[in-house]
Amino acid sequence: MSAVTLRVVGVTAETQDAVSLELVAEPARQVQYRPGQFLTLRIPSAQTGSVARSYSLSSAPHEGRLEVTVKRTAGGYASNWLCDNATPGMTIDSLPPAGIFTPDSLDTDLLLLAAGSGITPMLSILKSALSQGTGRCTLIYANRDENSVIFADALKSLTAEHPDRLVVLHWLESVQNLPSVPTLTTLLTPWHDRELFVCGPAPFMDVVVTAADHLGMDRVHVEKFVSLSGDPFAEIEIEDTDDAALVEVELDGTTNEFGWPRNTVLLDVLLARGVPAPYSCREGACSACVCRVVDGEVKLLRNEILERADLADGYVLACQAVPVTDTVRVTYE
């Protein structure tokens, strides 16, 4: 799971403050991903060397291409750098696609709620479901005003191509004010039995999740667009120490055993030993590193992502797990 080099081959202005970057791997090869996943890009900075930021793929896997769509954040560094500086020909380092904001099946009926740049993973999911699956989709897309709507034309074309399977409802703050919990509860009622995907600014996601709660919706997926604070591209060094547990790890059909220093997270142990364990943020915020403890006990230093039910099933974040018991068995299968 090392960084890949991507070359920018196209830059498209989507709105006044959002651009799409078409990317290809260098050397040329197909990059596998699932609809709704994201890339983590290394953006150069004279101040800190670089900053790492995640961007959801707006392209769909069956299109055989990679595209991210970046919206300027007022006062933000990386988004403005990309919007101002990305030009065809330049290269950028990325971590492989990651994330679990992706439908288990493209044949399931979906309800998608997006606001602003939260449309990017939704477009990938929509294109995939409509072209590769049989599920029906409803998208409710909130924006400040008509000029802020990203992918307006693409959404129009998809609706025209799939009139029986796709409903797109636009919510404009300039016309309807911000959506409230009671209004959303009424609006979502016809689709309350669907799997729900939500992505947008935190206040938007809060009202959607509360409305979904009122409707008893239990298959709810949320993608938080936050900036990483650490550097997931940094080299890993671990100390040699006698105060170590023993961990047995099953990954890609291979089982290995390592000493696991008690003050070191599992992901660092694996990467330092050359095990290609998956990861992205390395700060407990994205779930790319999820694995399952099948024997023994670990402690998570931070967890922004796993729900109680996941933890009860033994799922843990390798980037945040330190050992509690002397022996631990972990599987990525």
Ligand X SMILES: Cc1cc2nc3c(=O)[nH]c(=O)nc-3n(C[C@H](O)[C@H](O)[C@H](O)COP(=O)(O)OP(=O)(O)OC[C@H]3O[C@@H](n4cnc5c(N)ncnc54)[C@H](O)[C@@H]3O)c2cc1C
Closest distance to ligand FES from the beta carbon of 259 (Å): 21
- 38 near ligand X, rule: CB under 6 A: yes
From ligand X, ligand FES, none, interface partner of 56 (C-beta below 5 to 8 A by class): ligand X
Closest distance to ligand X from the beta carbon of 240 (Å): 33
From residue 255 to residue 294, the character string flagging contacts with ligand FES as x (rule: CB under 6 A) and all else as - is ------------------------xxxx-xxxxxx-----
Kindly report the backbone phi and psi dihedral angles of residue 233, in degrees, each rounded to the nearest multiple of 5, phi listed first.
-90, -10
Closest distance to ligand FES from the beta carbon of 40 (Å): 9
**Residue choice 2, 16, 32, 47 for contact with ligand X (CB under 6 A):** 47
Kindly report the backbone phi and psi dihedral angles of residue 285, in degrees, each rounded to the nearest multiple of 5, phi listed first.
-120, -5
- 90 near ligand X, rule: CB under 6 A: no
- 76 near ligand X, rule: CB under 6 A: yes
**Residue choice 11, 25, 187, 226 for contact with ligand X (CB under 6 A):** 226
Closer Cβ to ligand X, 77 or 315, answer by number: 77
- 321 near ligand FES, rule: CB under 6 A: no
- Extract the tokens encoding 186: 């009424």
**Residue choice 71, 194, 221, 282 for contact with ligand X (CB under 6 A):** 71
Starting from the edge strand earliest in sequence, which strands make up the sheet with 38-45, in order?
A: 49-56, 38-45, 91-98, 4-15, 18-26, 66-71
- 319 near ligand FES, rule: CB under 6 A: yes
The neighbouring-strand residues paired with 69 are 20
Closer Cβ to ligand FES, 22 or 268, answer by number: 268
Give the residue among 288, 240, 305 at the shortest CA–CA distance from 1: 288
Task: Indicate the pairing of strand 220-223 with strand 195-199.
Answer: parallel
**Residue choice 6, 78, 142, 247 for contact with ligand X (CB under 6 A):** 78
Kindly report the backbone phi and psi dihedral angles of residue 209, in degrees, each rounded to the nearest multiple of 5, phi listed first.
-65, -35
- How far CA 51 is from CA of 61, 162, 245, 320, in Å, comes to 27, 40, 33, 21
- 85 near ligand X, rule: CB under 6 A: no
Q: Which residues contact 151 (CB under 8 A, 6 or more apart)?
A: 14, 58, 69, 119, 123
Strand, coil or helix: 177: coil
**Residue choice 15, 17, 36, 56 for contact with ligand X (CB under 6 A):** 56
Q: How many CB atoms are located within 10 Å of the residue 82 CB? A: 23
**DSSP assigned state of 287:** -
Task: State the DSSP string of 72-110.
Answer: PPTT-SHHHHHHHH--TT-EEEEEEEE-S-S-S-TTS-E
Residue found by looking up tokens 């900036």 in the block: 227
Closer Cβ to ligand FES, 60 or 322, answer by number: 322
Closest distance to ligand X from the beta carbon of 68 (Å): 6
- How far CA 294 is from CA of 160, 203, 284, in Å, comes to 49, 37, 20
From ligand FES, ligand X, none, interface partner of 282 (C-beta below 5 to 8 A by class): ligand FES
From ligand X, ligand FES, none, interface partner of 319 (C-beta below 5 to 8 A by class): ligand FES
Contact positions with ligand X (CB under 6 A) in 101-140: 117, 120
Give the residues lining the site for ligand FES (CB under 6 A).
279-282, 284-289, 317, 319
Give the residues lining the site for ligand X (CB under 6 A).
38, 45, 47-48, 51, 53-56, 69-71, 73, 76-80, 99, 117, 120, 223, 225-227, 286
